[in-house]
Chain A
Amino acid sequence: MTKHRVWHLRGGIYPPENKAQSLQQPIRSMPLPAQLIVPLQQYIGSPAIPCVSIGQYVFKGQLIANSPQAISAPVHAPSSGIITQIGQHPVIHPSPLEQPCITIDLDGKDTWIAHQGSPDYAGQSQDDLLLRIRAAGIIGLGGAGFPTAAKLHTSGQKIKTLIINGAECEPYITTDDILMRERAADIVTGIQVIAHILQPEEIFIGIEDNKTAAITQMEQATLDTGIEVVVIPTQYPSGGERQLIKILTGKEVPADNLIAQSGVIVQNIGTAYSIFEAIVHGKPLISRVTTLSGQALGTPGNVEALIGTPIKHLLHHAGLDAQQVFRIIVGGPMMGFSLISTELPLSKTTNCLIAATRDEMPPPPPEQDCIRCGLCADVCPVTLLPQQLYFFSKSQELDKAEQHNIFDCIECGACAYVCPSHIPLVQYYRHTKGSIEIQNNKENKSGHARRRFENRNARLQQEENDKIAKRQARINTVTVIAPVTNQTLSAENNAMEIARLKTAAATSAKLAVDAKKALIQAERKQAQNLDSLREQVETLQKNAEQARQQLLKAQETETPSEAAAASHSANTATLAAPQTSADKIAAALARNEARKIQQERARAVTSNSTESTLAHPDLTAPNTAEKASSTTEKTQNTRHPSHKDS
């Protein structure tokens, strides 16, 4: 067998591996905990939606949350028991925020739901296999947790190379190593299922040369299968997706391309094993192999743990020395993070828990200023400029950081590992990436608000325009009638004309009466400008008289032409009254004044009457009120005849 060529990966570091301590024992299974807290969002994408209710009994492997979206995976009960809670719970995440979880109180019987698999994967269609992988809730177990079915669904894209990632370059973690040692044949079956779906031309398993036992096992298991085990040099981060592609194929995947577009798909060893379990045994992803390591543990090793098991339970059964433990790190010392609490549940992507002593992982020295030594740029596997990114991150120059391709950073931590100033570079980059995303969200939101604002303004403008158009239309209909009456000499039109004259006369009469009333009130209040008011009243009265006369004339003659003429003059009379704006304002002012006086008087009257009725039962107050009402009646009476007259 010719040896496959291995390309050189630029940069990278060689940290102490610390893998031996967790490889002393075979994969153990853990005693059942009393309770499981199953996170519903344990992968990239939207959270699954619970499809069970509180108090319901669920079997092991029963679907408890589903999601209709493509980039998501359903969640199954890892053991049998009763659902006690569906709600928010803290999960393994660098943030203290809570996420939706389903809590199951276990009955300890671990009763499986009916399930069925078949070793004859070759007889099934690709779509069927993809559906079963999706239904089993399988996600990438390497770390990022991308739903596997979505990744394998290439939508017609031809895949040339299938790469199985057994590099496992991060210190301490040995889950893939031990899986390959103990379950090589099952993993190969899982790989063959993937190969059946993708039909690639070549299949490589990339394993770092520090895993000799695993390499031997895998080479034996892949004999005569067309799968090639490629031994790659131990170098961190060779297990990164794009890095492994580079090492095994020499291809560099463009930053803005999806990896599948380059005809390559990478799957993790653990993922291949869970695909085997799902297809051949019909078991959904309800447990995973996790490395428990660190000097604070009595019996470090790999355990097959149920998803949702509290970390406390796992560490306890691995002999955690509570006196010795200094910090608990999840996900490896290079890319993981410290946990604040051990009450958190294990998720599908938790590949490693390190309970470290103070000697093992002492607190880091304080951060110093950058001395521009350039070591970080030497080790960066993505050939970025870590220094520049650091300066931009520190000064929050987000656009410049983006221009310097901060989003291509895989956060491997090589730069921070070699930094002699102990600058937590990756944390700066993570913060900056988050800030850029928040800024983009804000921009999207403000753009959305602007569009809504503009739409609203357009709508209000449209409403206003419609109103004006309607008003114009009404005015037009009135003016259209007038010329028609002038031309057609029918009696009907004549009658209409007279009616119009009647209204005109009535309006002007009313105006005159109102003005007169206002004048009276003003006189009573001894307001200024009485003379001018008086004049106005006179003109108004004159106008009214004119209008009446014209109407009478029109009624007498009944000759349309004259009627039309009369109507015209009547119109001018009515218009003249309100249209001299000064008059109008004066009249309005006077009316307003009068109204005020009336209100005041009424108030005085009522207060008087309430206050003094007891002492002076027949005082003037009610009388004035009576008088007031009688005068209003009178004015109404006087007004009515004028209507009738006209």
Chain B
Amino acid sequence: MTHILLAILVIMSLALLFGSLLDYVALRLKINDKGLVNKINALLPQTQCGQCGFAGCQPYADAIAHNEAAINRCPPGGKTTIYELADLLGTEPLPLNPEHGVEKDLPYVAYIREEECIGCTKCIQACPVDAILGAAKLMHTVIADECTGCDLCVEPCPVDCIDMIPVKPKNIDWIWDKPQGGGHVAFSRIPVSSIQ
């Protein structure tokens, strides 16, 4: 009888010990809230377009971290970002919510038709990354390298002189095509293994 009691006691005390240890560890190593937000924010594409319904990427990251928003609200990041977020948060990846827009297959950049610009500065105020240059009653122009292609300047323009145009591929961005995979002949294939 004493043996059984002893066993129960030992097991209970062990359970208590490990339980408290787990609690302590959970408290001690709690994921830093700010750290999580920063990690999420680092995965977001930083276009600051607001298509997710938040005023920029940081607020959206904040909402995701506090379980207030789903991870599928970012069209510029698209599938890649959703997968990365799901990976980070340990959740299932969701398909992109079409309410917030569709993923574009090409990067876009804003272009101001300069002869039509009336110099109202409205687009300058709308640009989240200060990528538009100009002054009141003077022509404005987009600094293409700084533009994130977020679309936010198109709406405020009173004369509709802003277009979103696909970014021209640069030589430096060119990469080899991915081979088509099993069953296909890679014609341009190097090395030529069949040298006679």
B6 cross-chain contacts in A, Cβ below 8 A: none
Q: Which residue of A lies closest to B130 (CB)?
A: A456
Is the pair B129, A452 in contact by a Cβ cutoff of 8 Å?
yes
Within 8 A of A (CB), among B158-193: 169, 171, 173-193
Say whether B56 faces chain A, with CB atoms less than 8 Å apart: yes
Stretch at the interface among A345-353, A425-433, A533-541: A425-433
Is the pair B192, A333 in contact by a Cβ cutoff of 8 Å?
yes
Say whether chain B's binding surface is mostly helix, strand, loop, or mixed. loop
Is the pair B190, A336 in contact by a Cβ cutoff of 8 Å?
yes
Is the pair A428, B196 in contact by a Cβ cutoff of 8 Å?
no
Assembled-state Cα–Cα distance A394/B180 (Å): 10
Given contacts A367-B185, A367-B186, A434-B175, contact A450 B194 (CB under 8 A): no
Is the pair A338, B45 in contact by a Cβ cutoff of 8 Å?
no
Is the pair A337, B188 in contact by a Cβ cutoff of 8 Å?
yes
Is the pair A426, B191 in contact by a Cβ cutoff of 8 Å?
yes
B129 cross-chain contacts in A, Cβ below 8 A: 449, 452-453, 456
Say whether A335 faces chain B, with CB atoms less than 8 Å apart: yes
Given B148, B175, B185, which contacts A365 in the complex, CB threshold below 8 Å?
Answer: B185
B23 cross-chain contacts in A, Cβ below 8 A: none
Q: Mark A330-371, 1 if CB is under 8 A from B, else 0.
A: 000111111000000000000000001001111111111100
Assembled-state Cα–Cα distance A446/B57 (Å): 11
Is the pair B191, A417 in contact by a Cβ cutoff of 8 Å?
yes
Is the pair B195, A335 in contact by a Cβ cutoff of 8 Å?
no
Given B46, B174, B192, which contacts A449 in the complex, CB threshold below 8 Å?
Answer: B46
Contact residues on B (Cβ < 8 Å of other chain), bracket = 35 or more
Is the pair B190, A422 in contact by a Cβ cutoff of 8 Å?
no
Is the pair A361, B192 in contact by a Cβ cutoff of 8 Å?
yes
Is the pair A364, B189 in contact by a Cβ cutoff of 8 Å?
yes
Q: Tell me the smallest distance from the CB of B98 to a CB of chain A, in Å.
A: 23
Given contacts A97-B174, A427-B179, contact A364 B193 (CB under 8 A): yes
Assembled-state Cα–Cα distance A37/B190 (Å): 27
Given B58, B176, B186, which contacts A434 in the complex, CB threshold below 8 Å?
Answer: B176
Q: Tell me the smallest distance from the CB of A646 to a CB of chain B, in Å.
A: 41
Say whether A563 faces chain B, with CB atoms less than 8 Å apart: no
Q: Which residue of B lies closest to A41 (CB)?
A: B171
CB-CB nearest 5 A-B residue pairs: A434-B175, A413-B191, A446-B46, A430-B176, A333-B192
Can you list 17 A-B pairs, Cβ within 8 angstroms, ordered by A? A16-B196, A94-B188, A329-B192, A337-B188, A338-B190, A360-B195, A361-B192, A364-B185, A364-B186, A364-B189, A364-B192, A366-B185, A393-B178, A423-B179, A427-B189, A449-B46, A455-B130
Known: A93-B171, A428-B179. 11 other contacts (CB 8 A): A16-B195, A333-B191, A361-B194, A363-B185, A423-B179, A427-B190, A446-B47, A450-B41, A450-B57, A453-B48, A453-B128
Q: Which residues of A contact B (CB under 8 A)?
A: 15-16, 18, 41, 93-95, 97, 99, 171, 329, 333-338, 356, 359-369, 393-394, 413, 416-419, 422-424, 426-428, 430-431, 433-435, 437-438, 441-442, 446-450, 452-456
